[in-house]
Amino acid sequence: MIERNMQVFDTSRYSFLSDPQKALDDYFELGYHIEPAVYSDEECADLIKAGHELEDAKNDIFRPCMMPHRQNPLYIKAMKKPLIVEIISAMVGGQAAGLQSEFFYCKPGTRGFSLHQDNFYVEAEYGVFASAWAALTDTYYEKGGLIIYPESHKEGALPVRKLNLGSDSAQDPNANNEETVVPPHYSAYNVAIPKGAVLFIHGHLVHGSNPNQTSEWRHVLLNTYIKSGEKFRAGFYAKREEVPLAD
């Protein structure tokens, strides 16, 4: 958790719809991009409803669901969203393939995700892996909002320090094992991502999330992507496999 008053970003300067080259240049410079209105209100509502019909949720288990696209084709459709595939393909420098989906319930009181670089788990080559973190409800500091360290992706893989926080049954089991050690010249920013918008995250951008201090659930769909044919770590928990997206 970082301080509330760290500057808040809720949109990027450019959109991939109107200024794709400038948006891409900014992404390479900053390590993230926020694209508004990617999923409609109806799509967000359908994905949330489907999330509460996944196997664990039916048993009142609300830890983030790993790979919901293997349970419900609605999540394949969300992963294949043409605008996202187009943006990610530009970011990773070639045809993107899906790698992972994860549905976050983040019920009231859920602990945040410790600072990390997504590629820590995936071990792909630099620049070929990126994530699309889609807010299905409004997210902001008090409501499990994300924390980012702009430009930290330029460091490549950073060291981590082990944490001893104990487990939170509503959080990803790997969320709090360790945290990235961020060089002191980078600053943390809170981002407030509105419903339907997507935060694109470079595989080496340091980020994490704040706890959900509200009385509402913070629903998020994370999809991660890799340049097709690149090497990656499958992982014991995630068991990642390439999902072809070009059809």
Ligand X SMILES: O=C(O)CCC(=O)C(=O)O
What residue ranges bind ligand X (CB under 6 A)? 104, 113, 118, 144, 207, 209, 220, 222
Q: At closest approach, how far in Å is the CB of 21 from ligand X?
A: 27
Smaller CB distance to ligand X: residue 127 or 144? 144
Give the contacts of 43 (CB within 8 A, at least 6 positions apart).
78, 196
Smaller CB distance to ligand X: residue 14 or 84? 84
User: Which residue sits closest to ligand X, CB atoms considered?
Assistant: 209
Total residues found in the chain within this entry: 247
Smaller CB distance to ligand X: residue 14 or 47? 47
| Burial class of residue 185 (count of CB atoms within 10 Å of its CB; 0-12, 13-18, 19+) | exposed
Q: At closest approach, how far in Å is the CB of 104 from ligand X?
A: 5
Smaller CB distance to ligand X: residue 175 or 243? 175
Smaller CB distance to ligand X: residue 14 or 225? 225
DSSP letters for 105-134:
---TTPPPPPSB-THHHH-PPTTSEEEEEE
Q: At closest approach, how far in Å is the CB of 146 from ligand X?
A: 6
Q: At closest approach, how far in Å is the CB of 95 from ligand X?
A: 23
Give the contacts of 214 (CB within 8 A, at least 6 positions apart).
108, 142, 143
| Antiparallel, parallel or unpaired: β 178-180 and 189-191 | unpaired
Smaller CB distance to ligand X: residue 195 or 207? 207
Q: Is 15 left (phi over 0), alpha (psi -120 to 50) or beta?
A: beta
**What is d(CA 247, CA 57) in angstroms, rounded to the nearest whole number?**
32
Q: At closest approach, how far in Å is the CB of 247 from ligand X?
A: 26
Q: At closest approach, how far in Å is the CB of 8 from ligand X?
A: 16
**What is d(CA 208, CA 85) in angstroms, rounded to the nearest whole number?**
23
Positive or negative, the CA dihedral 139, 196, 234, 55 is positive
